[in-house]
Amino acid sequence: MHSGSGRGNGFRIVVLLLFVTWPWRGSTPLLAQDPHSARDHLLAEGISFYRELEYERALSSFRRLLDGGVLSRAERARVLVAIGATHVVLEEGEAAMAAFLEAFSADPDVRLFPPFEAPKIRERFGEARQRFEEEIRRSDQESPRIFFTPLAERITGNTSLQVSATVVDNVKVAEVRFSFRRAGDLAYSTMRMSPLSEDRYVVSVPPFMVTGEALEYYLEARDVAGNVTLDGNEEHPYVVEIVPPKTPWYRQGFTWIAAAGTAASILALYLVVRQDPDVLALDGTIEGTIGTVTTTPGVLDAD
């Protein structure tokens, strides 16, 4: 009895494992998958349906993916692009435009990706982008906000200068710039700051540009609608004093003077010993001030 029961339990376990791990399609629940693996499965499933020309089933998979609630803004935008592209193929222009516009609202930088890159899809996608940007320019009156801690009052010259700032916008930051010049110069140099994270921007000024007595600088941020925010400006920049770097010991003048004096002393002692070897047997020291030592070729080699 126990043996038969064990075999029966083993059979049920195998069946359960097959059910859980089998690559089901359609609406079958994936009991063994976490939210991220389920998301990946639905995206792959929708793309597979799309490639097989089963567009309605592809739309079903993509919409279920949107309803899952585990997507980042960028991921949501990509799914909406897939939905919009599928509507284009189905010749549902208004639905395609609505999906593309929603994608741009989630991520203004979203792009087409395989297999949604047919010429007709590109055309409708470009029209949606243009419409989105026009709507943003009309409606977005809010400028970016810059959160920046000024540099220390003094920095060391001829060293790399690291600058960072947090910049946020209600829609999307287009670019952040760092402008600077040596105090007294007329023109500013401008470097584009790179995004380090979602809202954090950084730039590194090379050492050869950190020179002079002081550095004047300001920040500028612009959003996708063209709204601009300045932190400082050309007329009223931040100012930081530049301190000359410390001179290495081997480049300091007194070191070379001492070294030259030591060398001259050794040379003079050598010449004295050559003339009178018994001088080393003297019980005492050689004192005096050595001035200029002049030699002629061959003197040190003579017997």
User: What is the spatial distance between Cα 108 and Cα 252, in angstroms, rounded to a whole number?
Assistant: 57
Containing structural domain, residue 116? 33-139
* Helix/strand/coil for 194: strand
* Helix/strand/coil for 180: strand
Arithmetic mean of pLDDT, 186-200: 94
To the nearest whole percent, how much of the chain has pLDDT over 90? 57
Q: What is the pLDDT of residue 115?
A: 96
Q: What is the pLDDT of residue 136?
A: 86
Arithmetic mean of pLDDT, 247-261: 55
The per-residue pLDDT for range 118-140, each reduced to its tens digit, is 999 999 999 999 999 899 888 88
Confidence category of residue 141, pLDDT binned at 50, 70, 90: confident
Rounded to the nearest integer, the mean pLDDT of the chain is: 80
Q: What are phi and psi of 211, to 5 degrees?
A: -135, 175
Burial category of 89 from C-beta neighbours within 10 Å (exposed 0-12, middle 13-18, buried 19 and up): middle
**pLDDT at position 277 over 90:** no
pTM value is 0.54
- If one counts the domains in the chain, the total is 2
**pLDDT at position 151 over 90:** yes
DSSP H helical ranges for the chain: 2-21, 35-51, 55-67, 73-89, 93-106, 119-139, 253-275
Domain termination site, one of 201, 221, 243: 243
Residue 303 lies inside a defined structural domain of this protein: no
Q: Residue 182 belongs to a domain with what CATH number?
A: 2.60.40.10
**pLDDT at position 223 over 80:** yes
The per-residue pLDDT for range 197-216, each reduced to its tens digit, is 889 999 999 999 999 999 99
262 close to 233: Cβ distance less than 8 angstroms:
no
**For the ranges 16-20, 119-123, 247-251, the one whose mean pLDDT is highest:** 119-123
Residue 274 lies inside a defined structural domain of this protein: no
To the nearest whole percent, how much of the chain has pLDDT over 70? 69
DSSP 239: E
Same domain, 72 and 126: yes
Arithmetic mean of pLDDT, 179-188: 96
Residue 67 lies inside a defined structural domain of this protein: yes
Q: What is the pLDDT of residue 270?
A: 52
Domain termination site, one of 193, 223, 243: 243
Q: What is the pLDDT of residue 32?
A: 37
User: What is the spatial distance between Cα 87 and Cα 112, in angstroms, rounded to a whole number?
Assistant: 14
User: What is the spatial distance between Cα 141 and Cα 225, in angstroms, rounded to a whole number?
Assistant: 8
Q: Which two tokens stand for residue 151?
A: 């540099």
Q: What is the pLDDT of residue 260?
A: 52
User: What is the spatial distance between Cα 301 and Cα 270, in angstroms, rounded to a whole number?
Assistant: 12
Confidence category of residue 224, pLDDT binned at 50, 70, 90: confident
146 close to 192: Cβ distance less than 8 angstroms:
no
Same domain, 44 and 124: yes
Residue 5 lies inside a defined structural domain of this protein: no
User: What is the spatial distance between Cα 163 and Cα 209, in angstroms, rounded to a whole number?
Assistant: 14
Q: What is the pLDDT of residue 36?
A: 65
Q: Which two tokens stand for residue 198?
A: 């979602």
Residue 106 lies inside a defined structural domain of this protein: yes
Same domain, 44 and 131: yes
User: What is the spatial distance between Cα 128 and Cα 85, in angstroms, rounded to a whole number?
Assistant: 12
The per-residue pLDDT for range 45-98, each reduced to its tens digit, is 999 999 999 999 999 999 999 988 678 899 999 999 999 999 999 999 999 999
* Helix/strand/coil for 168: strand
Confidence category of residue 15, pLDDT binned at 50, 70, 90: very low
Q: What is the pLDDT of residue 71?
A: 87
Q: What is the pLDDT of residue 225?
A: 86
**pLDDT at position 99 over 80:** yes
Residue 59 lies inside a defined structural domain of this protein: yes
